[in-house]
Amino acid sequence: MKTGLFLYDTKSRNLLEVESSNESAVRIYCCGPTVYRDAHVGNLRTFLLADLTARTLNFLGHQTLLVQNITDVGHMSEDFEEDKLLSQSQLEKRDPFEVARDYEDRFHTDLARLNILKAKRYPRASESIDMMQTLITHLIENNHAYVGEDGSVYFSAESFPGYGAISGNKLTELKPGHRYEYSEGGAKRFHADWALWKAAGNRSEMIWDSPWGTGFPGWHIECSAMSMHFLGETVDLHIGGIDLRFPHHENERAQSNAAINNRELVSLWLHGEHLLFEGRKMSKSAGNVVLVADLISQGLDPLALRLALMENRYRSQMDLTWDALRSADKTLERWRERMAIWSQAPTAVADLTEIAQHLAQDLDLPKVLIALRALEKSVVSEGVKYATFMEIDRVLALDLNRPVVKKELSVEARMLLEARAIARTNKDFALSDEIRGKLEVLGVNVQDTAQGQVW
Ligand code: AMP
Ligand code: ZN
pLDDT digits (tens, 9 = 90+) for 365-413: 999 999 999 999 999 999 999 999 999 999 999 999 999 876 677 888 8
- Closest atom of ligand 1 relative to the 31 alpha carbon: 10
Q: Which is higher by pLDDT, 238 or 78?
A: 238
Mean pLDDT of all residues in 120-142? 97
pTM score of the predicted model: 0.88
CA dist 249 and 235 (Å) reads 13
Residue 52 lies in a domain: yes
Mean pLDDT of all residues in 331-335? 97
Residue 238 phi, psi (nearest 5): -120, 130
Determine the distance separating the centroid of ligand 1 and the alpha carbon of 31, expressed in angstroms. 9
Determine the distance separating the centroid of ligand 2 and the alpha carbon of 212, expressed in angstroms. 24
> 205 and 337 share a domain?
no
> 38 and 93 share a domain?
yes
pLDDT of 221 strictly over 60 = yes
> 30 and 135 share a domain?
yes
CA dist 156 and 235 (Å) reads 23
Q: Give the strand pairing for 275-277 and 280-281.
A: antiparallel
pLDDT of 282 strictly over 70 = yes
Question: According to the model, what pLDDT value does residue 372 have?
Answer: 96
Share of the chain above pLDDT 90, in %: 76
Q: How far apart are the first and last CA of the chain?
A: 49
> 46 and 174 share a domain?
yes
pLDDT of 184 strictly over 70 = no
Question: According to the model, what pLDDT value does residue 445 have?
Answer: 78
> 266 and 279 share a domain?
no
> 265 and 296 share a domain?
no
Closest CA to 141 of 47, 258, 26, 20: 258
Amino acid making up residue 185 = G
Question: According to the model, what pLDDT value does residue 443 have?
Answer: 77
pLDDT tens-digit map of 419-429: 998 898 888 99
Mean pLDDT of all residues in 254-269? 97
- Alpha carbons within 13 angstroms on the beta-carbon side of residue 53 total 33
Residue 66 phi, psi (nearest 5): -105, 130
Q: Tell me which of 272, 289, 308 is where a domain ends.
A: 272
Determine the distance separating the centroid of ligand 1 and the alpha carbon of 45, expressed in angstroms. 8
Q: Is the CB of 74 under 6 A from ligand 1?
A: no
Question: According to the model, what pLDDT value does residue 179 have?
Answer: 54
Q: Could you tell me the residue range of the domain that residue 385 belongs to? A: 275-396
Exposure class string for 381-398: b at 16+ Cβ within 10 A, else e: ebbbbbbbbbbbbebbbb
Q: Which is higher by pLDDT, 284 or 178?
A: 284
Q: Is the CB of 289 under 6 A from ligand 1?
A: no
Question: According to the model, what pLDDT value does residue 171 have?
Answer: 87
Residue 442 lies in a domain: yes
Asked if residues 197 and 153 have their Cβ atoms less than 8 Å apart, the reply is yes
Asked if residues 15 and 233 have their Cβ atoms less than 8 Å apart, the reply is no
Mean pLDDT lowest among 169-178, 202-211, 328-337, 349-358: 169-178
For residue 188, give the 3-state DSSP assignment.
coil
Average of per-residue pLDDT values in the chain: 92
pLDDT of 449 strictly over 60 = yes
Dihedral sign for Cα atoms in the order 87, 91, 94, 98:
negative
243, 248, 284: which to mutate for ligand 1, most atoms within 8 A of CB?
243
> 172 and 131 share a domain?
yes
Mean pLDDT lowest among 92-101, 169-178, 409-418: 169-178
> 109 and 228 share a domain?
yes
pLDDT of 342 strictly over 90 = yes
Distance of CA 426 to the CA centre of its chain: 54
Indicate the number of domains in the chain: 3
- Closest atom of ligand 1 relative to the 244 alpha carbon: 12
CA dist 446 and 424 (Å) reads 13
Question: According to the model, what pLDDT value does residue 407 have?
Answer: 67
> 345 and 417 share a domain?
no
Question: According to the model, what pLDDT value does residue 177 have?
Answer: 59
pLDDT of 451 strictly over 80 = no
pLDDT tens-digit map of 60-115: 999 999 999 999 988 888 665 688 988 888 888 999 999 999 999 999 999 999 99
